[in-house]
Structure 1
């Protein structure tokens, strides 16, 4: 006798590690949503870039290899330097630039291709994002190096292939250049020149990878001489504070919106921004024991601050991040001027008055 399975109306996830599994379950239960093929394209960076290139979208050229010894051969084709990254990954884990043959040898000698990522968050072990490059069953990518001068993001809220809301924004610096530092993420106004171009390219990328119902998060890179490129895309909301920025900027209930999309319903998204721009100033904290930090009330009393989420406690160690994921908190802020945002963010961080006693060797 076959087991009686419960009635299921929808299967959805916002976890990168579970997107393909959810697609398989939908197919088994004949439920609508992202197909297995599209889920694979959104989570396998090699399949993703191949699909994007096939439609003529600007994307870095790439090759799949299994051993560090193969990197130099690919670099001979693509040109030095090259970027090395996992096929399945997030937060720039195990992603680095290889400058030339000598640098490649240095990286091999220190075991860079054999490092398995340590996960202090305790939530990244369901898939393969922590695997070493050499430990990846299906190999890893060697990719054309882009001289990135700016990195943008765009979250698309989509119903049956129709984009209901596009939320473009930018990071204060390209993520690969700021690993270990806390970023400043800003949702741009729809009329901003960069916002329009970024949203247009994100829409094309989402269509190329398989239109569906849900959220698509795109990373868009601007090369100094070659213009905009699609970096990557995920079938999920952006990480960090990006989803929160979108919901506050456009005044919608994020969990309710995600639930509606999961049930194949059209959520109420009117696309009217509440602010000229909205920023999440992620909080950096050096390793050690916290000896002082400002109260959230003090920070929230500052001009432009909407909310301060400070995850630092006096007497406790600073929370350890992983890749580009920071865990010390963030300040939600309406900037005075995008041209002076770097200085404004620095002043906010200074107002936190974070003091840390470094750990001493035993």
Structure 2
């Protein structure tokens, strides 16, 4: 019987699969808003905020009195820091705090990548939002401002001038960023021609598998619009270049075992590393990789976290596969396409609806805001575009 601690927020797939395994004695640390992920009788400890390392450490001390965990699993972006800290603190094998910090703290990440000679946009640390003007004098206007830790394109702003900065310093739109418990950074604004993601599996410090996909539109341009991606053919010149870059990034940040989700920008001068995380891609990206290549990032994450040897044999299907994030506007849903309607559309092979009529969304829009996702199959990249256009035309969601 393996003794396992799951530190989690939104990683529902990992929560479900770990609860299904009869060879595991599972304990969980999470926050109350994810209570529904866990069966009655599961050993769950709630903390106000999984990102608060002190709260999680004290909760882990309490958990160890009843379950002396030997492994820690962290499937969500916001649990990476805490899980790395707990592993290092208790001497548990796996991704320790230094590596977890490099994969989740964007400032540290970019320092390490820059020092390794890898291509990243120029950046500067910020103690507060008001420091943007000084950074922009070095980097040039406009600049992109973001918290050092976070996901889903939340609290990321392109600031074009000192006048716009003055407005943002008092705007309600930036209240969350100004009150963030994390440091911030400013990056030079780059004109992105294409954005890719590369999803990999690492064992013993070696990249054993990597899949390259191309976003329909760069993510920061697509918020509230068309979000999704499709697999790049193996013979595409970009694929090999991104494969090689991914391996260099993994080596620079020191991951020994686990999964990766890397964002790469194609700009006029070549490729730039955006960000990388050591958890599966969100919003259906892990499902895309599993469907197209037969390598399931969630399976690899769990097995490497438990010291097991996952099957990473790729069984890639012909053509292209795509994931389409179903748009979810703000407001209360009064009309929504059904799963059956979407499955009847050309190329659609899987539909996961996460929203339903009557639900209300009032939060800020970001790249992870969606009503669910659809997986599509196509013979060519051109056919991907045709299927996506038809899906966009036929998908119905109405809010008030």
Is this a same-fold pair by TM over 0.5? yes
8 Å CA contact 2:286, 2:296 repeated in 1: no
Q: For each residue in 1:112-138, what CA deviation from the matched residue of structure 2 results, as whole angstroms up to 9, or x when unmatched? A: 44x12xxxxxxxxxxxxxxx2x32455
Q: For each residue in 1:157-185, what CA deviation from the matched residue of structure 2 results, as whole angstroms up to 9, or x when unmatched? A: 11121112101111111111111224122
User: In structure 2, what is the equivalent of residue 61 of structure 1?
Assistant: 122
User: In structure 2, what is the equivalent of residue 72 of structure 1?
Assistant: 133
Q: Does 1:232 align with 2:293?
A: no
Q: Does 1:189 align with 2:233?
A: yes
Per the TM alignment, residue 337 of structure 1 is displaced from its structure 2 partner at its CA by 2.5
Q: Does 1:146 align with 2:210?
A: no
Per the TM alignment, residue 318 of structure 1 is displaced from its structure 2 partner at its CA by 5.8
Per the TM alignment, residue 144 of structure 1 is displaced from its structure 2 partner at its CA by 1.2
Q: Secondary structure at the match of 2:103?
A: helix
- Distance in 1, matches of 2:86 and 2:336, equals 46
User: In structure 1, what is the equivalent of residue 380 of structure 2?
Assistant: 337
Structure 1's 269 and 283: CA in aligned 2 closer, same or farther, altered over 3 A?
Answer: same
2:244 is aligned, of 189, 196, 200, to 200
Q: For each residue in 1:78-105, what CA deviation from the matched residue of structure 2 results, as whole angstroms up to 9, or x when unmatched? A: 1111111111111111111111222222
- Distance in 2, matches of 1:29 and 1:67, equals 34
- Distance in 2, matches of 1:138 and 1:328, equals 29
Per the TM alignment, residue 342 of structure 1 is displaced from its structure 2 partner at its CA by 3.3
Give structure 1 stretches of 5+ with no counterpart.
Answer: 117-131
Structure 1's 158 and 294: CA in aligned 2 closer, same or farther, altered over 3 A?
Answer: same
Per the TM alignment, residue 355 of structure 1 is displaced from its structure 2 partner at its CA by 4.8
Q: Does 1:328 align with 2:371?
A: yes
- Distance in 2, matches of 1:73 and 1:319, equals 36
Mean Cα deviation higher: 86-95 or 343-352: 343-352
Structure with greater strand percent: 2
Mean Cα deviation higher: 97-106 or 3-12: 3-12
8 Å CA contact 1:91, 1:325 repeated in 2: yes
User: In structure 2, what is the equivalent of residue 29 of structure 1?
Assistant: 90
Q: Does 1:158 align with 2:202?
A: yes
The TM-score normalised by the length of structure 2 is: 0.78
Structure 1's 301 and 340: CA in aligned 2 closer, same or farther, altered over 3 A?
Answer: closer
Structure 1's 23 and 82: CA in aligned 2 closer, same or farther, altered over 3 A?
Answer: same
Give structure 2 stretches of 5+ with no counterpart.
Answer: 1-61
Q: For each residue in 1:168-222, what CA deviation from the matched residue of structure 2 results, as whole angstroms up to 9, or x when unmatched? A: 1111111111112241221223322222222221111111111221111111011
Q: Secondary structure at the match of 2:378?
A: coil
8 Å CA contact 1:320, 1:327 repeated in 2: no
Per the TM alignment, residue 287 of structure 1 is displaced from its structure 2 partner at its CA by 3.8
Structure 1's 317 and 272: CA in aligned 2 closer, same or farther, altered over 3 A?
Answer: same
Per the TM alignment, residue 269 of structure 1 is displaced from its structure 2 partner at its CA by 1.7
When the two chains are superposed, the root-mean-square deviation of aligned CA atoms in Å is: 2.3
> How many residue pairs align between the two structures?
337
- Distance in 2, matches of 1:171 and 1:197, equals 17
User: In structure 2, what is the equivalent of residue 120 of structure 1?
Assistant: none
Mean Cα deviation higher: 21-30 or 92-101: 21-30
- Distance in 2, matches of 1:84 and 1:306, equals 38
User: In structure 2, what is the equivalent of residue 272 of structure 1?
Assistant: 315
User: In structure 1, what is the equivalent of residue 39 of structure 2?
Assistant: none
- Distance in 2, matches of 1:21 and 1:288, equals 33
Structure 1's 180 and 24: CA in aligned 2 closer, same or farther, altered over 3 A?
Answer: same
Q: Does 1:244 align with 2:305?
A: no
User: In structure 2, what is the equivalent of residue 127 of structure 1?
Assistant: none
Structure 1's 21 and 246: CA in aligned 2 closer, same or farther, altered over 3 A?
Answer: same
1:170-185 pair list within 5 angstroms: 170-185=214-229
Per the TM alignment, residue 52 of structure 1 is displaced from its structure 2 partner at its CA by 0.3
User: In structure 1, what is the equivalent of residue 305 of structure 2?
Assistant: 262
Mean Cα deviation higher: 278-287 or 232-241: 278-287
Structure 1's 187 and 4: CA in aligned 2 closer, same or farther, altered over 3 A?
Answer: same
1:103 is aligned, of 158, 164, 171, to 164
- Distance in 2, matches of 1:221 and 1:103, equals 26
8 Å CA contact 2:73, 2:83 repeated in 1: yes
Per the TM alignment, residue 249 of structure 1 is displaced from its structure 2 partner at its CA by 1.2
User: In structure 2, what is the equivalent of residue 124 of structure 1?
Assistant: none
